[in-house]
Amino acid sequence: MNVEEIRAVARGSKVFDLGMELFPGMPHVPLHGPFGYSMIREHGDFMYPEGACAAVDMFFCTGHTGTHVDAFGHVSKDMKLHGGLDAAS
């Protein structure tokens, strides 16, 4: 798709914000890991030329932490995925 085709599709569309606050202790499915956050580099840990630097943080969670982010291959029935694909393969 080129830019004009994307604009044509987007024209008149509505945007729904599905974002949510991420925080330690947020709801998650008990069988899945909880949300985690860590800052692994702080400003000044590494300096680029001309005085530039960056902080680096890491977010980690499962597809069931605070929301539900999945793909068609996440759930199977009788070992068949969406579209009848074999889950074992």
pLDDT in tens, 69-79: 667 777 889 99
Domain chopping of the chain, boundaries: 17-89
Phi-psi region of 68 (alpha: psi -120 to 50; beta: other; left: phi over 0): beta
56 DSSP β-pair partners:
41
Distance CA 21, CA 75 (A): 26
- pLDDT score recorded for residue 53: 93
Lowest mean pLDDT among 13-17, 22-26, 57-61, 66-70: 66-70
**Is the pLDDT at 13 greater than 70, yes or no?**
yes
pTM of the complete model: 0.52
pLDDT in tens, 38-71: 999 999 999 999 999 999 999 888 877 776 666 7
- pLDDT score recorded for residue 42: 94
Q: What is the 3-state secondary structure (H, E, C) of the chain?
A: CCHHHHHHHHCCCCCCCCCCCCCCCCCECCCCCCCEEEEEECCCCCCCHHHCCCCEEEEECCCCECCCCCCCCCCCECCECHHHCECCC
- pLDDT score recorded for residue 67: 67
